[in-house]
Amino acid sequence: MKILIMGCGRVGAQIAALLEQDGHDITILDIDAYSFRRLPPDFKGTALLGNGMDGDVLKRAGIEEADVFIAMTQGDNRNVMAAQIAKHIFHVPRVISRIYDPLRQEMYDTLGLEAFSPTAIFAELVREKVES
Give the residues lining the site for other proteins (CB under 8 A).
53-56, 75-78, 80-81, 84-85, 88-89, 101, 103-104, 107, 111
Q: Please, what is the minimum distance in Å from the beta carbon of residue 111 to other proteins? A: 6
Q: Please, what is the minimum distance in Å from the beta carbon of residue 88 to other proteins? A: 6
Between 26 and 85, whose beta carbon lies closer to other proteins? Answer: 85
Between 40 and 88, whose beta carbon lies closer to other proteins? Answer: 88
Between 107 and 120, whose beta carbon lies closer to other proteins? Answer: 107
- Three-class secondary structure assignment of the chain: CEEEEECCCHHHHHHHHHHHHCCCEEEEEECCHHHHHHCCCCCCCEEEECCCCCHHHHHHCCHHHCCEEEECCCCHHHHHHHHHHHHHHCCCCEEEEECCCHHHHHHHHHCCCEEECHHHHHHHHHHHHHHC
Q: Please, what is the minimum distance in Å from the beta carbon of residue 29 to other proteins? A: 15
Between 84 and 117, whose beta carbon lies closer to other proteins? Answer: 84
User: Could you give phi then psi for residue 131, rounded to 5 degrees?
Assistant: -85, -10
Q: Please, what is the minimum distance in Å from the beta carbon of residue 60 to other proteins? A: 14
